[in-house]
A = this chain, B = another copy of it.
Amino acid sequence: MILVNGAATNQVVATDRGLAYGDGVFRTFPVTSGRAHNWCFQFRKLAHDCAALALPCPAEAVLAEELIRVSAAQRECIVKIIVTRGSGERGYAPPQDPVPTRVVMASPRLHYPEEFARRGVRVQVCRTRLAAQPRLAGVKHLNRLENVIARSEWRDPAVVEGLMLDMEGNVIGGTMTNLLMVDENGLATPELSKCGVAGVTRERILAAAMRHGVTCRVEPLTLNRVLGARELILVNSVIGAWAVRDIEGRTLRPGPGMTRMQAWLEEKDV
C-alpha cells in the first residue's frame, strides 16, 4: 500500500521536485505488527536530513499514523518514507513556501538467507567512487545515482554488497550499508564528512559503544586497512548486521566484534 500526502494512491505528480531534481530525502526500515523499528532514530534522522535541505519535515504524528496504515495488512514489512520539496515551477529555485510531498509505502519484508547473519557475506570493491560533497555528506537524499551505478557493477547473486571508496581511496561504506571494522586498534567506522550516508544503525552502534565505554573511532579508513581487518561488519536498518566473510580473495570469520554488535542492536535504545 502507498499513501501520498495521506491519500491511498500509487501516483505522484510528474512535476514533483523529487522526480525533477532528486530534491528530497528518504528512510527505509522494518515494521513489525505496526511498530516501526527504532522509530525515534528514524524520525530524528528524517528531520535532520530535511533540515539539511531546508525542507519542512512532516509532523512525526502524521508519519507515525501513516506508517501504521500502510503496514496494516502485513505482520512484517518494510516501510519507505520519501519527503520531497513538492511540486514547483520549472527551475532550480526552491519555492519560497514549499508544500512537501510525503510518500509512505510498504513492501514485503524479504528474508535474507539466515547464513548472511550467521556466517557472513561475500563483498566486492566497486570501481565507482563517491564524489566529495561536504554540503550533502551524511544525508540520505534522493540523489543516489552513484549508488545505482556502483550496484550495477555486478549481477552475481553470490556477491551481496559492494564497498565504495571516495576519490582519495578511503572506504566510505557499502552501496546500501555502513561499515564497521575491528582491527588491533579496536572498533572503527569511516568518517562521513565528505560523502556517504550516516545511517541510523551506524548511529545506534556509535551510541551503544559510548554507553558501554567502548571506543569506536570515526576516521578515514584506507582500503588497505579495511582489507587487513580482523572483522568487517555491514549494517543498515533493514538487514541489521552482516559480517563480511569474503572480500577480494580474503576470508574473514564473524568474531566477537560481530557478536557484540548484534547484542547492542538488540538493546532497547535510550
Contacts and interface: CB of A to CB of B under 8 A. Distances in A.
B105 A15 contact: yes
Interface in A115-136: 128-129, 131-133, 135-136
Nearest to A238: B90
A30 to B, nearest CB: 12
B14 A13 contact: no
A35 B17 CA distance: 27
Interface in A87-114: 89-94, 96, 103, 105, 107
A13 B12 CA distance: 6
A78 interface: yes
A90 B22 CA distance: 16
Interface in A38-54: 53-54
A254 interface: no
A74 interface: no
Contacts of A10: 13-15
Given A2-B14, A13-B10, A92-B176, A19 B142 contact: yes
A214 interface: no
Per assembly, the copies of the chain total 2
A260 B11 CA distance: 47
B92 A147 contact: yes
Interface string A177-210: 0000000000000000001000000000000000
B141 A145 contact: yes
A12 B11 CA distance: 5
Contacts of A11: 11-14
Contact of A14 (B12, B135, B147): B12
Given A80-B90, A143-B143, A143-B144, A14 B4 contact: yes
A146 interface: yes
Given A92-B175, A105-B15, A21 B142 contact: yes
**Would you list the 9 A-B pairs with minimal beta carbon distance, nearest first?**
A22-B22, A131-B131, A11-B11, A143-B143, A131-B133, A92-B151, A21-B144, A92-B147, A19-B19
5 contacts: A22-B144, A54-B152, A90-B107, A94-B148, A128-B135
